Amino acid sequence: MRKLNLLAGMALAGTVLLGLTATADKTSANFTATSTNPGNTFQSATLAMSNDKPNANDLVNITNLVPGDTANRAVTISNSGNTGFTYSASVSASANTLLWSDTTNGLQVTVKRGAVVVYTGALKNMSLTSSGTIAAGGTDTLTYDFSFPSSAGNSFQNLSQDFTVTYTATQLAGAAR
């Protein structure tokens, strides 16, 4: 009987061991958790500028110019974007008459930002370095004092000179946010 009990116990132990082995891979329990960062967005800025004299001849259109004439004009630069910028300006011309090429007797200009002179000299060489920061929705006004020197001689008669002022905005440097 002891032998029978021993064999029965061994058989029972084997059956239990076999049952545990068969169900061990089917009854695993794991804890899990999740967390999200929903609805994240990056949106780039809009860099846009305009001026109140955007059409041909808006800034200056003078006929019958004689030596000694002067003209005072202003232009307002507007930041119509949603980010601050600085801007610079340069001048170019498609024609090249003495009014343009003669840097002594040809057209001259003094440019002011408020009361501060930012350029004075031959119109041909005008170049304005970067302005201060113009915030979104802000403006800046430049005043141009054009002159035709009284020293210009007869060779300056019957000339016509066109020119374009180009304003170039540059965004402010990016920042850690």
The amino acid present at 126, given as its one-letter code, is: M
Q: Is 104 a member of any domain?
A: yes
pLDDT at 8: 59
Instruction: List, for residues 112-144, the tens digit of each pLDDT value.
Output: 999 999 999 999 999 999 999 999 999 999 999
Q: 65 lies in which domain range? A: 49-170
Instruction: List, for residues 38-94, the tens digit of each pLDDT value.
Output: 999 999 999 999 999 999 999 999 999 999 999 999 999 999 999 999 999 999 999
Q: Which of 133, 165, 169 is nearest to 46 (CA)?
A: 169
Structural domain tally of the chain?
A: 1
Q: Is 82 a member of any domain?
A: yes
Tokens of 45: 């800025």
- The CATH number that applies at residue 64 is 2.60.40
Measured between alpha carbons, how far apart are the two ends of the chain, in Å? 84
Contact (Cβ atoms closer than 8 angstroms) between residue 155 and residue 101: no
pTM over 0.95: no
Tokens of 137: 């929705």
Q: Is 3 a member of any domain?
A: no
pLDDT at 172: 93
Q: Is 56 a member of any domain?
A: yes
